[in-house]
Amino acid sequence: MSQMTTIKQCSINTSISNCEFLTDVISGLTQQQKSLPCKYFYDDKGAALFEQITRLQEYYVTRTELAILERYSKEIAQILPESLSIIEPGCGSGKKIAHLLAHMSKVKTFVPFEISTEMLNYSLAHLSPLFPELVIAPLLGDFTDSAMVKQLIKETALDSQTNLVYFPGSTLGNFNTLKAIEIMRNFQHLCGVNGYALIGIDLVKQRQVLLDAYDDKLGVTAAFNKNLLQRINDELNGSFNLANFNHESRYNEQHNRIEMHLVSLCEQTVIINNQQINFKQGESIHTENSHKYTLESFKQLAAQANLSLEQTWQDDNNYFALCLLRPL
């Protein structure tokens, strides 16, 4: 049977409070370019919608990465130390790590680190029957919160052992350059003694392929984007009328990134926790970035986080890459 252990985290506050959520929402919506942090997409409904997105025809990212894992997982596993622990920030459904675990029988502990309770439970339900002897130590929290990560390292001494930090799915691209470097520096510390990081990145490609991937014909991505407004209504006493906003994906060539926006279809006023937010017709809320990289640009980014790019694995179309890194 899987052993469900608890990481020594008693003093770590791993939940996102409504106070923090409200502060972030009001701060973002009172800027000249209104914005909302993408980490708030993943309430239980948002997590379920994202799982639907991963199965869409237009969304090449997940199936491409899974194909790379199916093809190269054994090769990747042979490079890694036999006895290590795996930490997966933003573990999602657990389907991707299963490919690696199938070739790594001596993993000490698997630590799924997830902001969504639903996704954490989904991961455990998927992995436990497949790997009944695997010790799983789930952690509910926000891996983008550096203070939380540093406290976790301090209290668990994770940096005193050999770890693989597994960060698939091109999630790194959701963050601006400075935040991406900060997150990778945290990963560098989590690698521990002679450890590694395995990070997925979405590569620069044709503009239309990117636009379609973030604006599917079935409207699932639009529902995922608008669900953030519904969450504000439900949790922060908001008054968003979702029908008054339209989902848009835009490609920003200067920054090599896809942007998701919610565009106000009319002049309107929204109340959030008794605070008034005004919208002009055509004004947008910038909800997410997804940066696309070349191998060289990612190598330079990783170096700023004291990580050295050791090896990469790509699909035949050069759409996606899995990158193995080591601390400098």
User: What does the H/E/C string look like for 226-253?
Assistant: HHHHHHHHHHHCECCCHHHEEEEEEEEC
Residue 180 has pLDDT above 90, yes or no: yes
**Euclidean distance between CA atoms 223 and 245, whole angstroms:** 11
Average pLDDT (299-322) is: 98
Which pLDDT tens digit goes with each residue over 246-296? 999 999 999 999 999 999 999 999 999 999 999 999 999 999 999 999 999
Distances (CA, A) of 312 to 76, 111, 112, 248, 308: 10, 24, 23, 32, 12
Q: Are residues 240 and 299 part of one domain?
A: no
- The average pLDDT across 84-99 equals 88
d(CA 207, CA 200): 20
Mean pLDDT of 35-52: 92
Do 119 and 198 lie in a common domain?
Answer: yes
Kindly indicate the confidence band of residue 16, based on its pLDDT and cuts at 50, 70 and 90: low
Would the pLDDT of 150 be above 90? no
Here the tokens at position 191 are 């690698």
**Could you tell me what percent of the chain has a pLDDT over 90?**
77
Tell me whether residue 221 is in a domain: no
Q: Which tens digit of pLDDT belongs to each residue from 190-222? A: 999 999 999 999 999 999 999 999 999 999 999
Q: Per mean pLDDT, which range of 88-97, 245-254, 305-314 is the poorest?
A: 88-97
Measured distance CA(215)–CA(313) in Å, rounded: 27
pLDDT at 13: 39
Distances (CA, A) of 328 to 48, 122, 147: 38, 35, 22
Q: Are residues 287 and 302 in the same domain?
A: no
Q: What is the mean pLDDT of the chain?
A: 91
Residue 129 belongs to a domain:
yes
Instruction: Report the distance separating Cα 277 and Cα 270, nearest Å.
Output: 5
Angle between helices 220-236 and 44-53 in degrees, nearest 10 = 170
Task: Give a yes or no: residue 267 inside a domain.
Answer: yes
* pLDDT score recorded for residue 215: 97
Same domain as 262, residue 176: no
Please check whether residue 1 lies inside any domain of the structure: no
State the Cα–Cα distance between residues 269 and 253, nearest whole angstrom.
32
CATH of residue 173's domain is: 3.40.50.150
Domains in the chain, number: 2
Residues 237 and 118 both lie in one domain: no
Domain around 309: 54-205+293-327
Kindly state the average pLDDT of the residues 28-41: 96
One domain for residues 307 and 275: no
pLDDT of res. 292: 98
Is residue 147 domain-shared with residue 200, that is, in the same domain? yes
Residue 5 pLDDT class (50, 70, 90 cuts): very low
Q: Are residues 162 and 269 in the same domain?
A: no
